[in-house]
């Protein structure tokens, strides 16, 4: 029989459990365990999840590699098992078939590198061996697991430890807390990054302080969403606040953040806070008129439970719930990542508050796709003439920033954030 250098098994796993095929963690574990069961030495693994579904990954073994790509929506996984030496890749095959709960499959085995077609080079192989010695029998391997927040054409990925600290499917969404290398713990909702331990202050300082330091007396504040607690933490830095109402639809988000992100979820026991776990859309619909000085809409992206937070009716209701000189701030999406929603929100606000009372502020979030994000403002402005894009009292702001040791917001950023690049101005025309 012809001798070969390697053995390659190309496998089609069909009728697999879609849940298993969409779970990047368990796929990584199964592939690594499958390699180990066959006696291979694992060097490294890299696995990515693609939103909303699909996983790609490879386990590099000393004896070559095991690779996979899954289509959970088709219950299908394409798997590549390439081994050399004494390793029997069929052991990995059997293990994976069970793990993916595949009820039908096919496999082709190919011998790779037929020795009678090759010519062995004449060099001193010992020298090469000496260099590669450090890779022999390593007793640990590097995990390379990534979380990806994406649409069809763009993505942002963060590498995480592979450990999921919290994973719950609430009535509304999948709530997860992962542990990333660069940004600490991450809160994700339905495969989208909401906030991270290390850059949350960009978002939470900017969503709060521009409005709070522009309004002459922000005493009664309403926050819709914001379940991680970062926005209420920032609002409550202002002594002038008498009452803060927060309406978050998903208790699971609050509880997960209290447990795993206590630096963000640190003000839930503040006596000025009334926390209501309910639908913010109907809360505003049923609200009394002329009640709030500031309404902050700290929602997620317009899919799932936050979809209604981008509707005309919702913003009309916010307008009525605001006092005559009230300010509305809304998570405004990105002019680079989701231009359509960004523009539509702007025109909704302009129709309700008037074009001259609608403003866009841009800021930078490293962990959102494209990094460029916005807050959009509607200023009711019946009695006072606010110019939210110009600071009224620089000293007051500077003192506040210093005292509170803020990390992103300051008086220069306040003004500068309203300066829009030409392409954004053009989008909004
Ligand atoms: N694509 C991310 C949009 C995030 C909106 N909300 C984040 C919640 C932070 N409190």
Cα 281 to ligand 1 centre (Å)? 17
Ligand 1: list residues with CB < 6 Å.
192, 194-195, 203, 226, 228, 230-231, 298, 300-301, 331, 368
First to last CA, the chain: 74
Q: Pick from 37, 79, 39, 88: which is nearest to 58 by CA?
A: 79
pTM of the full structure: 0.77
Which CATH class for the 157-196 domain?
A: mainly beta
Q: Which residues pair with 184 in a beta bridge?
A: 180
**Comma-separated ranges of CATH 2.30.140.10 domains in the chain:** 157-196
Of 300, 330, 338, 375, which is best to mutate to test ligand 1, by the most ligand atoms within 8 angstroms of its C-beta? 300
- CATH annotation of 4-140: 3.60.90.10
User: Of residues 93 and 138, which shows the higher confidence score?
Assistant: 93
For 153, counting Cβ atoms within 10 Å of its Cβ (0-12 exposed, 13-18 middle, 19+ buried), the class is exposed
At residue 135, does pLDDT exceed 50? no
Whose C-alpha lies nearest to ligand 1, atom 6? 300
Q: Any idea which residues carry the catalytic annotation?
A: 298
Which CATH class for the 200-428 domain?
A: alpha beta
C-alpha radius of gyration, the chain, whole number = 27
pLDDT bracket for residue 317 (50, 70, 90): very high
C-alpha–C-alpha distance, residues 193 and 177, integer Å: 10
| Averaged pLDDT, 292-318 | 90
C-alpha–C-alpha distance, residues 207 and 343, integer Å: 19
Q: Which of 100-104, 135-139, 260-264, 390-394 has the highest mean pLDDT?
A: 260-264
Cβ atoms of 241 and 177 closer than 8 Å: no
**Comma-separated ranges of CATH 3.60.90.10 domains in the chain:** 4-140
User: Both tokens of residue 258?
Assistant: 């209290």
**Comma-separated ranges of CATH 3.40.50.150 domains in the chain:** 200-428
Cα 227 to ligand 1 centre (Å)? 10
Which of ligand 1's atoms lies nearest the C-alpha of 369? 1
Whose C-alpha lies nearest to ligand 1, atom 2? 194
At residue 119, does pLDDT exceed 80? yes
pLDDT digits (tens, 9 = 90+) for 345-403: 999 999 999 999 999 999 999 999 999 999 999 999 877 677 899 998 999 999 999 99
């Amino acid at each position: 029989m012809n001798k070969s250098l390697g053995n390659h098994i190309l496998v089609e796993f069909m009728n697999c459990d879609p849940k298993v095929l969409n779970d990047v963690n368990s796929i990584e574990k199964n592939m690594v365990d499958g390699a180990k069961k066959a006696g291979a030495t694992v060097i490294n693994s890299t696995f990515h999840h693609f939103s909303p579904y699909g996983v790609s990954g490879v386990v590099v073994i000393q004896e070559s590699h095991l690779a996979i790509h899954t289509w959970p929506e088709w219950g299908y996984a394409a798997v590549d098992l390439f081994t050399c030496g004494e390793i029997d890749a069929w052991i990995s095959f059997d293990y994976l078939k069970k793990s993916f709960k595949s009820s039908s499959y096919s496999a082709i085995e190919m011998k790779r590198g037929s020795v009678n077609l090759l010519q062995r080079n004449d060099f001193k192989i010992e020298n090469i061996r000496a260099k590669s010695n450090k890779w022999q029998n390593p007793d640990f391997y590097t995990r390379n697991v990534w979380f990806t927040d994406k649409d069809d054409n763009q993505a942002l990925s963060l590498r995480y430890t592979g450990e999921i600290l919290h994973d719950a499917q609430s009535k509304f969404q999948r709530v997860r807390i992962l542990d990333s290398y660069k940004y600490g713990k991450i809160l994700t909702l339905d495969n989208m990054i909401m906030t991270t331990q290390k850059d949350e202050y960009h978002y939470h300082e900017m969503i709060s302080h521009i409005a709070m330091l522009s309004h002459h007396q922000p005493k009664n504040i309403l926050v819709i969403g914001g379940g991680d607690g970062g926005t209420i933490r920032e609002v409550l830095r202002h002594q002038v606040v008498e009452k803060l109402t927060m309406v978050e639809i998903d208790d699971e988000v609050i509880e997960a953040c209290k447990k795993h992100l206590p630096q963000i979820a640190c003000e839930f026991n503040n006596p000025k806070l009334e926390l209501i776990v309910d639908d913010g859309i109907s809360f505003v619909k049923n609200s009394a008129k002329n009640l709030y000085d500031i309404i902050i809409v700290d929602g997620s992206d317009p899919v799932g439970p936050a979809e209604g937070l981008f509707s005309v009716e919702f913003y009309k209701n916010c307008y009525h719930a605001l006092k005559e000189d009230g300010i509305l701030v809304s998570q405004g999406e990105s002019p680079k990542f989701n231009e359509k929603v960004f523009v539509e929100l702007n025109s909704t606000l302009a129709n309700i508050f008037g074009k001259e009372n609608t403003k866009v502020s841009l800021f930078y979030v490293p962990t959102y796709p494209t990094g460029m994000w916005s807050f959009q403002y509607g200023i009711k402005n019946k009695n006072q003439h606010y110019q939210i894009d110009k600071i009224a009292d620089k000293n007051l702001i500077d003192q506040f920033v210093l005292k509170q040791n803020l990390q992103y917001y300051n008086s220069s950023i306040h003004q500068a954030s309203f300066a829009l690049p030409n392409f954004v101005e053009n989008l909004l025309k």
